[in-house]
Structure 1
Amino acid sequence: MITSFKSSTKQKIVLLGYSLLWLLIIPFALCHFIFQIIRRKPGYTKARLSRYGLTVSQDNPKDTLHIHCASVGEVVAIQNLVEQLLANTLKQQIIITTNTTTGADRVRLLFTDRVEHAYLPYDFPLFIKLFLNRKRPTKVLINEMELWPNLCHQCWRSNIPIFIINGRMSEKSTKTYLKFPSLFQPMFEKITAVCAQGQRDYENYLTLGVSPDKLTLTNNIKFDLTISAHDMAQSQTIQSNFDLEQRLLIVAGSTHEPEEQILLDAYLALQKDYPALLLVIVPRHPQRFEKVHQLLQKQNITTVLMSEQKPCTPNTQVLLCDQMGKLRSIYALADISFVGGSIADRGGHNALEPAAVGVPILMGESTYNNPAICQALADSGALLTVTDAQQIESACKNWLNNPQQKKQAGDAGKQVLILNKGAIQKTLNVITS
């Protein structure tokens, strides 16, 4: 049901001013797009014209579900939800939009041709309207917190219900939205329903003026994570191709600067006592693959690049994963994991991926993206908080010297997932009611 809402004159003026700001931004974005086309940068194709509302694919049928995910992490998080939607409906078309090329690549990797992909238009009224008229979604689902005033306004005007699923709302974001009430309050009024991923998020949406009858505490759909047969088969292939059977692996996943150097310092201290130890680094963003490689070369670290498909030797110190879509499979081979974006102040990435394969977890103090998940894992003993190389070294030594404690920590992570499942079904209940 679409909420009735009447904007005040001030709110209309503010939305108009916001839209006019896009007129200043769009020429620069278009010049950048043309420049990257000329450079033949990967990912810059005609498909990106959808950022201007100009979709190159055919019009969608009337019954289309539009799901928006900002980038890779959000796409991975909704994988099981999309699989259930695909299994439950035969006629409904699903279109997933992203902002990034890496997000687009992950959509194609996970769902092949079973869903359509497009880039979300810039939040300018004409672009949004063109996109909605062409794709004709019957519902729009926004994953986590990628909220845009004109997208919400145009959906509301077109009588298209808009849902926030796995809704995340940090204190920092709440304060930002509260600073501009004339722009953002109408946006929240026009949302049909919010599925909050945690109590913190539920309360912050209330603070922002979302009506309690629009809010449902579904828990985090990341708890419904499962490791696919494809992931496990790929894991065995990686183990065989890179000759990892006799190695102890510390897997540093989704890393940011300066986390690679911190992990490397800890590894070099540990290597003296554990000569079979191998550090596997998986940077969060592909544009950093080469930078991390150069960091390792400058320090004369014996490194194997995963893209080169050469086996590790007994002297190999670091296996650098410079390919996307491999992290879950690599976590399945780990003895100990470090989840990135947590010493670097990025809010921490998905700690449930190593937990799902029974691997103990190290993270820094920055976990504001998934505080409930990290707290549940820490309370169970599956996750330890570390802040520097010395603490990483100490925690790894403890687990490597006490295999039974390491196993207990890994088993505890699996149990956390089992105890917290059910968010996907709750979300389906909200969006289908």
Structure 2
Amino acid sequence: MPYRLLYNLLIHLFGPLLLGLLYWPRRGKPGFGTRWPEHLGLVAPSPPACAPLWLHAVSVGEVVAATPLLKALKAAHPELPIVVSTTTRTGAEQVARLGDLVEHRYAPLDFPWAVGLFLRRIRPRALLIMETELWPNLLHACGQRRLPVLVLNARLSARSAARYRRFHGIFRLLSANISHIACQHRDDAEHFSALGVPRERLSITGSVKFDIEYGENIIEQGRQLRAQLGTQRPVWIAASTHEGEDEQLLAAHRQLLQQHPDALLILVPRHPQRFEQVAELVARQDFSLGRRTEGSPGPQNQVYLGDTMGELPIMLAAADIAFVGGSLIERGGHNLLEPAALGKPVLSGPSTFNFGDIARQLLATGGAHQVRDADELTEELRRLLASPALAGAMGQRAQAVVAANRGALANTLRRIETQLDL
């Protein structure tokens, strides 16, 4: 049985379950409101004479990575209309921060009829996919319409490549309808090539995440927040944390308080639907809790919950040391470059496969250190707090790694212009 036919049978068979998981209300999970039909292709159509560029970024992280590229595209081609799609509500909220620079639609679920309806209504001139969000029916429909598809900032870990090798026919089906893959690193290009993608359809542009730059407004808001938190107390941040990780971070903070009783932990869960759950966890463990949504913390607060969206850079700027979550559990970690770009010493757990090359560079230069558990995290925090000069040098090395790798944004923009003849 052809792979695509089997795939379509399965997604229609399990479709009700998938829709239930997507729309079932959960505490703290933002709903889709009246816009849920967009997932079925029922989006507002493009104006008759408009053929927008369509960029898909599944959620917040991909939208953040795409933002400098979107701004560069509009600066170079102000007349070019751009539609950005996301799958998640939090991704949509991040796109809304771009104002009228782009339009937002929810991406269609990968039912062939939903994809077809979306394409007929939007009528895009090309599809840009951030990272490696590949869906069989979407790519097939684009191929049938001779719609150029570019995968940007693409990565393919050894683990993912091994999975695709086991289902090589499916990957061949996907890649046949991709015009070009702009890879983050040479390893990624080698993995795609080993799976049969022709070399002429591969390029190495670097990671646009290295082109992260924070404006003076972020730095200033960070200074203002630090003044509210207290300039004379040690402040460390645990960013983008997950369930099963918060407990370890609070254990490390409890140990740190024995030596630094005025220390403050800024705790920022990765997913907003966990804000209340984490607040309850902090309270159960008898920490004095302040919340971003409730104003400035008092000097008695030991934990400050970052329970807002889009303010992580401000909180990173306010901290002395940054721990990046998703790494003390097997989640592969999150973006180590966000604190590095701000010149903060970076700590993470051992699971960093989502950002393997970035982690290797930061570790090799001494801009980041890895810890295995709460005890090691406490020791590293104590070591850095005992020597501001050591922490400062570590932050400078982290920032230097970011600076040395900048340029991917310009490379990616040139690749888009060449492939689409802009």
**TM-score over 0.5 (shorter chain):** yes
Structure 1 CA distance for aligned equivalents of residues 385 and 30 of structure 2:
42
Corresponding residue number in structure 2 for 1:81: 69
Instruction: Tell me the TM-score normalised to structure 2 length.
Output: 0.94
SS of equivalent residue, structure 2 residue 322: strand
2:95 to 107, 117, 121: 107
Equivalent runs, 1:139-150 vs 2, <5 Å: 139-150=126-137
Q: Is 2:14 the counterpart of 1:25? A: yes
Q: Is 2:174 the counterpart of 1:166? A: no
SS of equivalent residue, structure 1 residue 322: coil
Structure 2, unmatched stretches of 5+, are none
Corresponding residue number in structure 1 for 2:198: 211
Structure 1 CA distance for aligned equivalents of residues 168 and 274 of structure 2:
37
User: Residues 26, 88 of structure 1: CA spacing in aligned structure 2 closer, same or farther, 3 A cutoff?
Assistant: same
Equivalent runs, 1:340-351 vs 2, <5 Å: 340-351=325-336
Structure 2 CA distance for aligned equivalents of residues 190 and 66 of structure 1:
16
CA contact (8 A) 1:60 1:134 kept: no
Moved more, 361-370 or 221-230: 221-230
CA contact (8 A) 2:39 2:109 kept: yes
Corresponding residue number in structure 1 for 2:255: 269
1:305 to 291, 296, 305: 291
Q: Is 2:362 the counterpart of 1:374? A: no
CA contact (8 A) 1:270 1:393 kept: yes
Letter in 1 for 2:37: L
Moved more, 83-92 or 173-182: 173-182
Percent of aligned positions that are identical? 38
Which digits, 9 at most, give the CA deviation of each residue in 1:150-183, with x for residues without a partner? 1111111111100110001112221222222232
Aligned-pair distance for 1:267?
A: 1.3
Letter in 2 for 1:420: N
Structure 1 CA distance for aligned equivalents of residues 94 and 34 of structure 2:
18
Structure 1, unmatched stretches of 5+, are 1-9
User: Residues 59, 108 of structure 1: CA spacing in aligned structure 2 closer, same or farther, 3 A cutoff?
Assistant: same
User: Residues 138, 304 of structure 1: CA spacing in aligned structure 2 closer, same or farther, 3 A cutoff?
Assistant: same
Structure 1 CA distance for aligned equivalents of residues 368 and 82 of structure 2:
36
Aligned-pair distance for 1:56?
A: 3.3
Q: Is 2:236 the counterpart of 1:254? A: no
Structure 2 CA distance for aligned equivalents of residues 29 and 168 of structure 1:
26
Structure 2 CA distance for aligned equivalents of residues 239 and 417 of structure 1:
24
Structure 1 CA distance for aligned equivalents of residues 363 and 29 of structure 2:
42
Aligned-pair distance for 1:29?
A: 4.7
Structure 2 CA distance for aligned equivalents of residues 23 and 214 of structure 1:
32
User: Residues 23, 226 of structure 1: CA spacing in aligned structure 2 closer, same or farther, 3 A cutoff?
Assistant: same
User: Residues 273, 254 of structure 1: CA spacing in aligned structure 2 closer, same or farther, 3 A cutoff?
Assistant: same
Corresponding residue number in structure 2 for 1:295: 281
2:36 to 38, 42, 48: 48
Pairwise CA RMSD: 2.0
Structure 1 CA distance for aligned equivalents of residues 178 and 123 of structure 2:
18
CA contact (8 A) 1:149 1:184 kept: no
Corresponding residue number in structure 2 for 1:6: none
Corresponding residue number in structure 2 for 1:156: 143
User: Residues 172, 76 of structure 1: CA spacing in aligned structure 2 closer, same or farther, 3 A cutoff?
Assistant: same
SS of equivalent residue, structure 1 residue 137: coil
CA contact (8 A) 1:249 1:336 kept: yes
Which digits, 9 at most, give the CA deviation of each residue in 1:101-145, with x for residues without a partner? 111111112x12221111111111111111111111111111111
Which digits, 9 at most, give the CA deviation of each residue in 1:302-326, with x for residues without a partner? 00011111x3222210000111111
